[in-house]
Amino acid sequence: MKRITFLLSLIVLSIFNDIRAQSIATYDIVFTSTWNATDHTSIPPNDHWSRLVGVNHNANVSFIEISTMASQGVESIAENGINDTFEDVDVQNAINAGNAEQYIYGPSLSTAAGTITISDLEFTEDFPLLSLFTMVAPSPDWMMAIDALELMDTSGNWKTLIEIPVLYVHDAGTDAGTNYTSSDADVNTPISIFDGSNPIAPFNGNSIGSLTVTLTNVLSVEDVSPLGSPKIFPNPSTGNTTISNAQSIKNVEIYNILGSLVKSKNFENASKIDLNLRTLQKGMYVVRLSDASGNTKTQKLILE
């Protein structure tokens, strides 16, 4: 199973063709749980939180919204604390469509109260929204969820500190259970939240915790010596891909979403480069072009 902590951090200098400064921000994320018997009626046996998982993405995609239906991936997290469907379907589809950057895989918490920390997460400017999930366990379908938290301000600067002092429990709407250990009773209702306007037991409209997102570093990079204007087509591609205007290209490297080099080929004075990528799995890749002087250019390629 893939465990992506950062998507192509070494090779994606610019995913688009225009020449512009980019930056990579590093954040620490801390979820603090205040789940307790006084505020939340009682604490069940085997109380814990599932792994804190999530994704950073752009505004073209949403992974959870109040008053909408939960996806199968979100349902699996909320009901069972299992993240595979969310990772392999929800996040991967968004990555393939160019709307998400990475699946975030954090630790779990073996007690009701305590902290979950994810350190040194790196984000690029094109995917500045953060969504996070962890299951209240055991429970029918209850979870803590963060929807599209903005890491950049309206001026395009990375926020140095984001504090959410009050977090409420979300009901995924996929199970009709009313207490921590209710038996399975599937339903299909919209996602809701147990806040002050909906003070349902056992949480009684009380906060379940807080979240802090702290900026630790910003790395600015610039594609200062780009190649000309080579074009990669078709894109998306079924495997046969052409690079035009390629006279100056010396080397072509293909990287997968884990940042691993999966194909490399050298050329010299070729006016057109034809690549057969049919042996590669479907998904998003980055094509890194370089010339004899060391100038580079990166472009996104989707194989379907």
**Tokens linked to 183:** 């038996």
According to DSSP, the β-strands at 251-255 and 261-266 are antiparallel
Average pLDDT, the chain: 87
What local confidence, expressed as pLDDT, does residue 245 receive?
A: 66
Whether the CB-CB separation of 169 and 135 falls below 8 Å is answered with no
**Could you report the per-residue pLDDT of 116-173, keeping only the tens digit for each?**
999 989 898 999 999 999 999 999 999 999 999 999 999 999 999 999 999 999 999 9
For residue 291, give every residue at least 6 positions away whose Cβ sits within 8 Å of its Cβ, in sequence order, or none: 227, 248, 249, 250
Give the Cα separation of 72 and 148 in Å (integer): 19
**Could you report the per-residue pLDDT of 279-299, keeping only the tens digit for each?**
999 888 888 888 777 777 777
DSSP state string for 147-208: EEEE-B-TTSPBPSEEEEEEE-PEE-SSB---STTPPP-B-----EE-STTS--TTTTT---
Give the Cα separation of 87 and 103 in Å (integer): 6
User: What does the pLDDT average to over 66-71?
Assistant: 97
**What pTM does this model have?**
0.69
Give the Cα separation of 131 and 61 in Å (integer): 11
Predicted confidence (pLDDT) at residue 221 exceeds the cutoff of 70: no
More confident residue, 90 or 274: 90
Lowest pLDDT segment from 24-33, 206-215, 245-254 = 245-254
Please list the residues that pair with 302 across neighbouring strands.
284
Give the Cα separation of 288 and 304 in Å (integer): 19
Q: How confident is the model at residue 225 (pLDDT cuts 50, 70, 90)?
A: very low
